[in-house]
Structures are given as C-alpha cells and as structure tokens.
Amino acid sequence: MERPKICVVGASNLDLISYVPRLPKMGETLHGDRFQMGFGGKGANQAVMAAKLGGDVAMVTKLGDDIFGRDTLQNFERVGIDISHVHITDQAFSGVAPIAVDADGNNSIIIVTGANDLLTEKEIEAARPAIAAAGIVVCQLEIPLPITMAALRIAREEDVTTIFNPAPARPDLPDELYRLSDIFCPNETETELLTGMPVSTLDEAEAAARSLLARGAGAVVLTLGERGALLVNEEGATHIPAEAVQALDTTGAGDAFVGSLAYFLALGKPMTDAIARANRIAAVSVQAAGTQSSFPTAADLPGDLFT
C-alpha cells in the first residue's frame, strides 16, 4: 500500500523539560524533580507523529548550525522524514522551548524560535514540489506569518488540502488565512483568544467554531482535551468524544492529534473517522512523558486503528 504523503511547514525546537511539584508563581524559584531534553517545535512534532504512523512526510523548516540543529536533523532522519527542505543557518541558534510540567501533567511553555524566524519565502517556493506531491499540508504559527501564508497559498494553488493549527495563538489573524485553511484546528484556549467567546460547553464551543467558519475556514476541528474534539462545518456539528485516561504529561498532545489527523486524512479516511483515530492516539501520548518521546509508533498501537 502506498504511504500517505504529508508536507509539514513549521518550526523545529529543542524542548528543555523540567518536572516540578507545581508551576511557579511570578518571581518564584522552585526545585524541580527531574529534567530532560527532547525534540519539539509544533511543526516538527506534527511531522514526527505522522511519520511514526507510517506517513511519507516532508518537513520544511530551518535549524541553527549548532548541536541542537544537528541532533534535530538526525532525529528527522531516524524517523524517516524527508529532509530535502530542512535548511541550516549560522545567523541564529536553533529554536528552544523551556517547559515546566507539574504533578498533574499541566504545562507552561516559553518558545524562543531562533533559526525558525529566518525561513524565507524563496525557500518555501523551492518546496513547492513537496507541497504539490502531498495529500495534506500542515501549518502552524511558530514561524513568521508571511511564511506560513506563502506555504498555504502554494497548497491552494496546487489543490492540496490544508490543515492550519493556529498555535501558539495570536489575535487578529488575516481573513485570507482562514480562507486558505481547509481545516482550521484550534484548541480551547486558542479558540477563546481568536473569538472572544467561551467554550465551556459543547454549545458554546459550536458557536465559537461557527464564528471561525464564518471567517472563511472550510471546516473547524476544535480540540477539547479530555472531551475529545468537535467538528463544525456547513453540514452541522459533530462531537467526537475521547476515551478517559490518566494523563501523565499533556505536552505535545495537540501535536499528536494534528499529526495523526493529517496522516489519516491523507490515507483517505472520512473526517469524523480520522478525528476519532487521532483522539485515540492523542490519548495514548498523554500517558507517557515528554513530547515526541510520548508519541507512539504504528507498532505500539492497536491494529484496528489502521484497518
């Protein structure tokens, strides 16, 4: 069977993860329980998740000419990601993300994007063949907005389905971005920031999603954490629940969902089916520590996920 093709345009960071009894207050110093480093960046996470499931994944990103960048490149190669459009610069350090994770699995993250900010529109245009060959193109907001927009425009010109994950969230996104998003995939916090509307109940979440739909998105897939996800499109609204699990570390769960969603949609699964499968994989990821290290491979998952 041909492997589904996915192209991810986005950031690559190194996660610097501290496990703490609780998240610190402003100005407070806490002793942590342990520390670990892991590969991250929303784009890289989503690409690695899709690759671990068996996707034929191309990554478009920029790394610093440093130890973090070299290790990230090797990590991409190890999971089988096409690195033809992974660029290296000596003008900035690789992106980093210091993360604090408390005893309940909640997290606080600071992102220093570094080399990611130097990705150029010329480099995006050079990736056009990889974008055109993909079944799904995935973008986020960790690289400069004009670069993300350039990638989405190329995908639209090449008639490739797009998933846009508006993270980390920022208000006042341009209307064109919504129109270029076949699937607009925010979480609860991002939805509230973008719309100014609450999402405490499913009815509230649907109303907020419809306001995003009205801005031009083809469909909205609103992730709701332990409540699963809500699909809202012109046909209506469908809640796809998630199974209850005991979370150890929620870091990267949203990226596990988006990468899995891209994989199953590129495989040809119907939207609600792809969302249900992505929910299951995200639920697996929160039961292990770390970001990419918590992402399961196809071999780790029940066979019915792939039938």
Say which residue the tokens 């690409």 belong to. 47
Beta strands in the chain (DSSP E): 5-9, 13-19, 34-40, 56-64, 82-89, 95-101, 107-109, 136-139, 161-164, 183-184, 220-223, 229-233, 236-240
Q: In what order do the strands lie in the sheet with 5-9?
A: 82-89, 56-64, 5-9, 136-139, 161-164, 183-184, 220-223, 229-233, 236-240
**At 193, which helix (H) or strand (E)?**
helix 188-195
CA 228/CA 236 separation, integer angstroms: 17
What are 62's strand-pairing partners?
A: 87
Active site residue 255: yes
Give the pairing type, strands 229-233 and 220-223: antiparallel
The single residue of 104, 172, 255, 273 carrying the catalytic annotation is: 255
**At 289, which helix (H) or strand (E)?**
none
Q: Which residues are catalytic?
A: 255
